[in-house]
DNA sequence: TGGTCATTTGGTCAAGTAGCCAATTGTTCT
DNA sequence: AGAACAATTGGCTACTTGACCAAATGACCA
């Protein structure tokens, strides 16, 4: 068997849903290069810090990222690096049909 | 470089978004085993056929699946099989924290 | 041609999501 | 203690989504 069926379909879908937003996906890709604090991620996506923080809450809720508070800053890191592999496959498909 | 940055982030995110719904993800997983007509997919997810059809429109719009009309039926097939690989990785993570 | 079956489309409504601002929490520095 | 900074939370509004029903399309069969 390749794909398991005893895991809730919505639990799986929630992970995709969390990645289904340009800002959140951009942050996950940035985290692929190493941990970043919220203010650094804010620069990546360019929106209000409160918005960034809420996006990070979504990513944390599904276990895609992990938060580590150190001093005044909170550092986020990627817990599911295989996400980047899928992004590459998606990119390949998008390139093939000419973005 | 591992992840390209000249491809629109929202184009990528739209693919994740399309997968971010239990019914759509279930259909994609079912299509991983081979092509299926809409009525077969309807049995997989159990909702109204019009709802299933709209979900399939979403998947088709982002290029995840392909439609082929043969006689009265429309057969859908999976265009991005690497999706299944990511689902497996997601499953592994979900299992590790005890679904 | 008329009927039936598979699928799609249009419309409506309830529910969910994203963004911003303002206010709050918690930490460091003086 | 009080100022300054990083991050989170609450609240509001605008927008998007999902589900169902009803109606339309399109293919096959009698």
Q: Could you read off the pLDDT of B10-43 as tens digits, one per residue?
A: 999 999 999 999 999 999 999 999 999 999 999 9
- The string of pLDDT tens digits covering residues A62-74 is 999 999 999 999 9
Residue spans of the domains in chain A: they are 9-96
Q: What is the pLDDT of residue A5?
A: 64
8 Å CB contact between A60 and A74: no
User: CA-CA distances (angstroms) from residue B37 to B26, B49, B55, B72, B91?
Assistant: 14, 11, 14, 10, 26
- Supply the pLDDT for residue A1: 47
What count of other Cβ atoms lies within 10 Å of the Cβ of residue B37?
Answer: 16
Q: Which positions in chain A touch B13 (Cβ < 8 Å)?
A: 19-22, 24-25
Confirm if B63 and B18 have CB atoms less than 8 A apart: no
Is B3's CB within 8 Å of A84's CB? yes
Please tell me the distance in Å from B71's CA to the nearest CA on chain A. 28
Question: What does the pLDDT read at residue B70?
Answer: 96
Whole-number pLDDT of residue B75: 98
B70 touches strand C (CB under 7 A): no
Which chain A residues in 52-71 lie under 8 Å from chain B, judged by CB atoms?
Answer: 63
**Which whole number is the average pLDDT over B44-64?**
97
**CB A34 under 7 Å to nucleic chain C:** no
Contact A29 B91 (CB under 8 A): no
Strand D bases contacted by the protein (CB, 7 Å): 5-10, 17-23, 26-28
Distances (CA, A) of B53 to B22, B23, B77: 15, 11, 14
A71 touches strand C (CB under 7 A): yes
Q: Which residue has the higher pLDDT, A99 or A84?
A: A84
- A6-23: average pLDDT: 95
Which string of DSSP letters, residue by residue, matches A24-54? HHHHHHHHTTS-EEHHHHHHHH-S-HHHHHH
Q: How far apart are CA B30 and CA A39, in angstroms?
A: 41
> Residue A62, Cβ neighbours under 10 Å: how many?
21
Q: Which residue has the higher pLDDT, B7 or A28?
A: A28
Q: Any alpha helices (H) in B2-99, and if so which ranges?
A: 9-19, 22-31, 38-45, 49-61, 82-96
φ/ψ of residue A8, rounded to 5: -55, 130
Give pLDDT, residue B1.
Answer: 46
| Separation between the CA of A71 and the C1’ of D6 (whole angstroms) | 9
Q: How far from the centroid of its chain's Cα atoms is residue A61's Cα?
A: 11
Condensed to tens digits (0 to 9), the pLDDT of residues A16-61 reads 999 999 999 999 999 999 999 999 999 999 999 999 999 999 999 9
Residue pair A38/A67 in contact (Cβ under 8 Å)? The answer is no
Tell me which architecture the domain covering A9-96 has in CATH. Answer: Orthogonal Bundle (1.10)
- Å from the A73 CA to the C27 C1': 9
């Amino acid at each position: 068997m390749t794909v398991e069926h005893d895991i809730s379909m919505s639990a799986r879908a929630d992970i995709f849903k969390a990645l289904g937003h340009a800002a959140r996906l951009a942050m996950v890709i940035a985290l692929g290069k190493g941990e970043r604090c919220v203010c650094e991620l804010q620069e990546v996506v360019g929106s209000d810090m409160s918005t960034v923080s809420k996006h990070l809450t979504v990513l944390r809720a599904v276990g895609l990222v992990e938060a580590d508070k150190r001093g005044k800053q909170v550092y986020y890191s990627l817990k599911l690096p295989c996400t980047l592999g899928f992004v590459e496959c998606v990119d390949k498909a998008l390139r093939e049909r000419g973005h």
